[in-house]
């Protein structure tokens, strides 16, 4: 068989290797000047100059952001169930309760109407996920938040550079988290970058990630060690200079797939949104898993199901809830390769494979 097309592919170049080598030669490996520069540069490039705080993962960024915003036992935070478990996990780890709300069927993000219906007197915040690189409806979610005096926290793990009404995601919430895991739109190896709305939440996040210290051995509160290392920051700084070009390539690949795929439903983009295609997610209404197996095994087209089990049904949460759009999405979504390393030949192969499998199933 021909060489399989991977579902995702981190791009690591000579510059990243040299950056790591530069830090290793400096002898200072832990959080230091590289992290400070990365925070500055990320803020300027991706969140309109907002202050940023780096962490050792996206998940710890969410966790510390929630703690810094005062979320804890007795509080409820409304989250989607159709997302990676890190979203709800980070809420649960603060002692608060993640409350799962349904999604919009069009682009799989939190439904503002479902959020409205899930609000109780304990609700403190809404945490939308900009799933697959498509922003949640921040306009309508803000209306719900304003009506009930709630905060918004953005899980922007998959959405570096996406915009809503022309404004970058990560500039809307009290805090916003971007993941830097290797398969995300840019990477630092592992890591998270957190945009913060004000100096208060910034200071608390900086304290929490470093044992509660800003000044050594003068611990102001109880914290953890969730620092990013300078080695990781050095990789991230190089990747940051490339992410805009990669995003453009992802968008061009998506445009090609939109125009040429047959027999499946292609992604929908809201008129207010620019989509950065962390995933290019189609829906297959009949036998999605068989469709995915055929693409992989017969055509060498890597593809993924994000996410097959909604969070509310995971053994870790187990809630009796009726979330019909979430269930439908979990049964039908299939993400095709869209990453910037695809060649024209790869794209043609994906189109042919999808048409062939769709036809065979019809």
Ligand X SMILES: *Cc1c(COP(=O)(O)O)cnc(C)c1O
Binding residues for ligand X (CB under 6 A):
57-59, 83-84, 86-87, 129, 155, 157-158, 179, 181, 192
Torsion sign over Cα 92, 185, 325, 290: negative
Task: Write down the least CB distance from residue 86 to ligand X, Å.
Answer: 4
Q: Please, which residue, 54 or 357, has the CB nearer to ligand X? A: 54
Q: Which residue is nearest to ligand X (CB)?
A: 58
Cα-trace Rg, the chain: 20
In terms of residues, how long is the chain?
362
Q: Please, which residue, 127 or 261, has the CB nearer to ligand X? A: 127
Q: How far apart are CA 103 and CA 108, in angstroms?
A: 5
Q: How far apart are CA 106 and CA 126, in angstroms?
A: 20
Task: Write down the least CB distance from residue 317 to ligand X, Å.
Answer: 15
Task: Write down the least CB distance from residue 91 to ligand X, Å.
Answer: 12
CB of 124 within 8 A of CB of 151?
Answer: yes
In this structure, are strands 151-155 and 123-126 parallel, antiparallel, or unpaired?
Answer: parallel
CB of 236 within 8 A of CB of 210?
Answer: no
Q: Please, which residue, 83 or 168, has the CB nearer to ligand X? A: 83
Task: Write down the least CB distance from residue 219 to ligand X, Å.
Answer: 25
Who's near 128: CB < 8 A, 6+ residues apart?
80, 109, 110, 136, 138, 141, 152, 154, 155
Q: Please, which residue, 84 or 164, has the CB nearer to ligand X? A: 84
Task: Write down the least CB distance from residue 278 to ligand X, Å.
Answer: 8
Nearest C-alpha neighbor of 109 from the set 344, 318, 269? 269
Q: Please, which residue, 38 or 181, has the CB nearer to ligand X? A: 181
Task: Write down the least CB distance from residue 319 to ligand X, Å.
Answer: 19
Nearest C-alpha neighbor of 350 from the set 297, 300, 284? 300
Q: How far apart are CA 174 and CA 125, in angstroms?
A: 10
Q: Please, which residue, 279 or 349, has the CB nearer to ligand X? A: 279
CA 34 from centroid of its chain's CA atoms: 23
Task: Write down the least CB distance from residue 344 to ligand X, Å.
Answer: 28
Q: How far apart are CA 219 and CA 208, in angstroms?
A: 10
Q: Please, which residue, 299 or 307, has the CB nearer to ligand X? A: 307
Q: Please, which residue, 158 or 347, has the CB nearer to ligand X? A: 158
Task: Write down the least CB distance from residue 63 to ligand X, Å.
Answer: 9
Q: What is the DSSP letter of 133?
A: G
Cβ neighbours of 127 (radius 10 Å): 30
Q: How far apart are CA 40 and CA 237, in angstroms?
A: 10
Task: Write down the least CB distance from residue 55 to ligand X, Å.
Answer: 9
Q: Please, which residue, 63 or 349, has the CB nearer to ligand X? A: 63
């Amino acid at each position: 068989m021909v060489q399989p097309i991977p579902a995702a592919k981190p791009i690591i170049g000579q510059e990243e290797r040299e950056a790591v080598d530069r830090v290793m030669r400096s002898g200072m490996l832990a959080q230091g000047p590289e992290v400070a520069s990365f925070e500055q540069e990320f803020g300027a490039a991706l969140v309109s100059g907002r202050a940023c705080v780096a962490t050792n993962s996206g998940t710890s960024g969410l966790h510390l952001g929630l703690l810094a915003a005062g979320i804890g036992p007795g509080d409820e935070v409304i989250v989607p169930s159709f997302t990676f478990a890190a979203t709800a996990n980070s809420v649960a780890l603060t002692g608060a309760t993640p409350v799962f709300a349904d999604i919009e069927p069009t682009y799989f993000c939190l439904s503002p109407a479902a959020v409205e219906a899930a609000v109780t007197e304990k609700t403190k915040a809404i945490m939308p996920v900009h799933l697959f690189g498509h922003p949640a409806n921040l306009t309508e979610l803000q209306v719900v938040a304003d009506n009930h005096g709630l905060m918004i926290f953005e899980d922007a793990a998959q959405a570096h550079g996406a915009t809503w009404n022309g404004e970058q995601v990560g500039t809307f919430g009290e805090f916003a988290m971007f993941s830097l895991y290797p398969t995300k739109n840019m990477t630092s190896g592992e890591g998270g970058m957190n945009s913060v709305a004000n100096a208060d939440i910034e200071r608390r996040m900086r304290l929490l990630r470093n044992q509660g210290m800003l000044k050594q051995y003068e611990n102001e509160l109880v914290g953890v060690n969730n620092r990013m290392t300078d080695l990781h920051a050095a990789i991230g700084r190089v990747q940051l200079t490339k992410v805009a070009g990669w995003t453009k390539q992802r968008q061009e690949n998506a445009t090609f797939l939109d125009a040429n795929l047959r027999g499946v439903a292609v992604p929908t983009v809201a008129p207010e949104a620019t989509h950065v295609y962390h995933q290019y997610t189609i829906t297959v209404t009949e036998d999605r898993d068989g469709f995915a197996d055929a693409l992989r095994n017969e055509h060498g087209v890597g593809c993924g199901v994000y996410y097959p089990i909604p969070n509310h049904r995971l053994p870790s949460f187990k809630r009796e809830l009726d979330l019909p759009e979430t269930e439908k999405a979990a049964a039908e979504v299939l993400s095709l390769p869209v990453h910037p390393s695809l060649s024209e030949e790869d794209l043609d192969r994906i189109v042919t494979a999808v048409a062939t499998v769709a036809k065979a199933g019809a």
